[in-house]
Amino acid sequence: MRSLLVSLASLFLVSAASTAFAASITDAEYMAAMEAMHHDDTPNATPMTVPAPSQPVSGSDVVYATVGGKSVKGYLVRPTAAKGPLPGIIVIHEWWGLNDNIRKTADRLAGEGYEALAVDLYNGQSATTPDDATKYMKAVMADKDSAKDNLKQAYAYLHDHEHATKTGVIGWCFGGGWSLQTALLFPDKLDAAVMYYGQPVTDVATLKTLKMPLIGFFGEKDQGITVADVTAFQAALKEAGVNAEIHEYPDAGHAFANSSGKNYQAAAATDSWDRTVKFFAKYLH
């Protein structure tokens, strides 16, 4: 594994000018890459299931937002024994949608002492085929304002309704990009951001708004978010002065942390999860 701490590592800067990083991967390129990455994939359970939470948790579906006049349900979970407000985490699903894999991952986060809200950006739908996932993803990308409204209300639900003591965000794949976008929506309000192999932003002026620490995980074999994309992202984060830590795994490709997919890579998934837990513990507790 190649692990780079952006705030300390000596990185090659493409240019000292902010505009040098403006040419990040486009939405069209990203969506095409996701289709290619997941072309033969399915979100089916494998023997490498998501581990159980470290303590008992209780979860249920809740209405956390109203977007376009329609109620939006997510999955809210917290430790069963916990009393009173907790640190909150917005959990953003990958391109398959809010399915059992994401709910189990939210359970696992709750087991670490958080109240986790797994949001739904797919209007109550979750995909079982790449074609459906592509359709749902493209619908969101064609109406980003609705997605941003959804995520703003998710933050408000945790902050105002649940009285979260601190708030973080995490997402994978499609959700990894939206985790970064959520951080940009709340640049001085969120306390921590985690993104797994999501669409990066390389505009320095945009990244300069971020006040929270960020950690990102990528696979060097990912043909969608390439090593070159990650290098440009690292350089832009450094120039922007963001407290960011980026990890790349040489034997991992896209979706390496998804235990229900065909791209699961146990070593990278385990290491990234351990780092995620430590990261949230440091900045949310």
- Residues 91-143 have pLDDT tens digits of 999 999 999 999 999 999 999 999 999 999 999 999 999 999 999 999 999 99
The type of residue at 54 is S
Domain ranges of the chain: 2-42+49-284
- pTM of this structure: 0.91
How far is it, in rounded angstroms, from Cα 68 to Cα 260? 32
The per-residue pLDDT for 17 is 35
Q: Which percentage of the chain shows pLDDT scores above 90? A: 80
The per-residue pLDDT for 12 is 33
Helix (H, G, I), strand (E, B) or coil at 213: coil
Hey, which residues are catalytic here?
173, 222, 254
Helix (H, G, I), strand (E, B) or coil at 72: strand
pLDDT at residue 18 tops 60: no
Nearest CA to 136 out of 149, 148, 124 is that of 124
Nearest CA to 124 out of 114, 139, 110 is that of 139
Classify domain 2-42+49-284 at the CATH class level: alpha beta
- Span 179-205, average pLDDT: 98
The per-residue pLDDT for 39 is 77
Helix 144-156 to helix 174-185 angle (10° resolution) is 70
